[in-house]
Amino acid sequence: MSGKADIALIGLAVMGQNLILNMDEKGFVVCAYNRTVSKVQDFLNNEAKGTKVIGADSLKDMVDKLKMPRKIMLLVKAGNAVDDFIGQLVPLLSPGDVIIDGGNSEYQDTSRRCDELEKLGLLFVGSGVSGGEEGARHGPSLMPGGHAAAWPLIQPIFQAICAKADGEPCCEWVGDAGAGHFVKMVHNGIEYGDMQLICEAYHLMQCLGLTPQQMSDVFGQWNGEELDSFLIEITRDILKYRDAGGHLLERIRDTAGQKGTGKWTAIAALQYGVPVTLIGEAVFSRCLSALKDERVQASTVLAGPAQNSCTVDMKKFLNSLKHALYCAKIVSYAQGFMLMREAASENKWSLNYGGIALMWRGGCIIRSVFLGNIKDAYTRQPKLSNLLLDDFFRRAIAEGQESWREVVAKAFLWGIPVPALSTALSFYDGYRTAKLPANLLQAQRDYFGAHTYELLGKEGQFHHTNWTGTGGNVSASTYQA
């Protein structure tokens, strides 16, 4: 049976199984392997019964069943498990073979693995895989990066199994080293932001007294308009879902979990000095939700506004809420693309931003019609510095910002938390402000720490003032201390 399989996949959890079945359906022979070997036979006897999928009872057996150059995809837990498998595979492989990590690995780990394996003559790919189990089975969004020489070897498989948008594959080569996993990380961060924005809209609707079915109807209407997207669609379905106990959503505990990629995006934003404020607030909102017991106690002793009747023209307010959600969503993506641009500059990646938007058009969790507008923006201006400056998005916010401001103001007056909607608005106002109060901040830094400042019209020259007359004239040697 030597040399029969086109690719091997290690890791038979739900995502791994579904990707294997997807590859099989597209005509590729896949060799399946799992650390717990009994799962391989279980998979072949059940989910993969009647397919061309073959199994392996050891890593050597798996490697022996692969065509040259060998292509092996890992779908295992990020971190040590990936390094452990790579360590076991290296002695079994030949120069030119390809290892693909399809998990949610940190991009720095992917860059390190690229460097380590390059010295051994092996090719490494770190690929983002988005779309959940449904996407894995019927067409995910794939974001591969790493050693460019690997792309021609895996391209036929990846572009066959990925989702398609307007006939185009939602998979293209992203860039060197950890670029693929970085783009997937930002995708997940934007996903955090999108979900938080939708939750804030849901919270406001609750406070207006809408029933779950009425809310579902509103989201259903929005899904046929500017907000047409996977997350709006599933929110519509979740709100109307009923079981024997009634609407299920009302009984789900309000504490959100997270697996880390949103947090990594916020950390990367701080490291690169990019104000990705909305995603940061989305992460912190999940952290706040986890303080359930404290919140319940606080709700009995902490006062809110005296009037929170939420009395509005319902139809008008819901329309304003739609525009607020749309405007904040624009800011979220603008911030995400700002972060990718800065990381690309620092890491010398050549990212195709329009191509990334196209990759996200289908298969992934944040897929939406909106992404087509982003691709168009970068087609018009490949070197666009910020999505907010594109004519389409500039007009969209100009048309929707009064509604956005009204919703945020009303939420504050009613005592309803809208951290994502409001921080997006603050970012927009900060970005469009020619002169911010950071001059005072810089003066404060110089006053207490001699950190120096620049004068308008004399940029690049750093000055220190003895503000009290009793301080010294020595300034800090590093301006950005």
Instruction: Quote the strand ranges of 348-465, DSSP E.
Output: none
The token pair at 181 is 């996993």
Tell me: is residue 319 an annotated ligand-binding position. no
Count CA atoms closer than 13 A to 356's CA, side-chain side. Answer: 26
The token pair at 52 is 């061309």
Please, where are the H alpha helices in 122-260? 132-138, 151-161, 179-207, 212-222, 230-240
Tell me: is residue 11 an annotated ligand-binding position. yes
DSSP conformation class of 33: E
Tell me: is residue 383 an annotated ligand-binding position. no
First-last CA distance in the chain: 63
Tell me: is residue 450 an annotated ligand-binding position. no
CB-CB contact of 33 with 152 (8 Å)? no
Residues 327, 329, 330, 333, Cα dihedral to 10°: 160
Tell me: is residue 286 an annotated ligand-binding position. yes
Helix, coil or strand: residue 130: strand
Tell me: is residue 135 an annotated ligand-binding position. no
Tell me: is residue 259 an annotated ligand-binding position. yes
Tell me: is residue 46 an annotated ligand-binding position. no
- The DSSP annotation for 74-106 comes to E-S-TTHHHHHHHHHHGGG--TT-EEEE-S---
Tell me: is residue 13 an annotated ligand-binding position. yes
Other Cβ atoms less than 10 A from the Cβ of 173: the count is: 21
Which of these is catalytic: 71, 184, 240, 410?
A: 184
Tell me: is residue 178 an annotated ligand-binding position. no
423 closest CA partner among 323, 276, 257:
276
Tell me: is residue 289 an annotated ligand-binding position. no
Tell me: is residue 472 an annotated ligand-binding position. no
Question: What is the chain's alpha carbon radius of gyration, rounded to the nearest angstrom?
Answer: 25
Q: Are strands 123-130 and 98-101 parallel, antiparallel or unpaired?
A: parallel
Tell me: is residue 451 an annotated ligand-binding position. yes
Count CA atoms closer than 13 A to 322's CA, side-chain side. Answer: 20
Helix, coil or strand: residue 111: helix
Residues 6+ apart with CB under 8 A from 245: 251
Tell me: is residue 130 an annotated ligand-binding position. yes
Instruction: Please give the helix or strand (H or E) that residue 247 lies within, else none.
Output: strand 246-247
Q: Tell how many helices (H) and how many strands (E) occur in the chain.
A: 19, 12
Backbone angles phi, psi at 229, to 5 degrees: -165, 165
Tell me: is residue 343 an annotated ligand-binding position. no
The token pair at 290 is 């986890």
Bridge partners of 124, per DSSP, are 99
Other Cβ atoms less than 10 A from the Cβ of 259: the count is: 10
327 closest CA partner among 412, 427, 409:
427
Tell me: is residue 77 an annotated ligand-binding position. yes
Tell me: is residue 350 an annotated ligand-binding position. no
Which of these is catalytic: 39, 65, 106, 191?
A: 191
Tell me: is residue 218 an annotated ligand-binding position. no
Tell me: is residue 236 an annotated ligand-binding position. no
The token pair at 166 is 């307007």
> At 479, which amino acid appears?
Y
184 assigned to active site = yes
The token pair at 219 is 């989201």
Binding residues for NADP(+): 11-16, 34-36, 76-78, 104
Q: Which residues are known to be catalytic?
A: 184, 191
Binding residues for substrate: 104, 130-132, 187-188, 192, 259, 286, 445, 451
Binding residues: 11-16, 34-36, 76-78, 104, 130-132, 187-188, 192, 259, 286, 445, 451
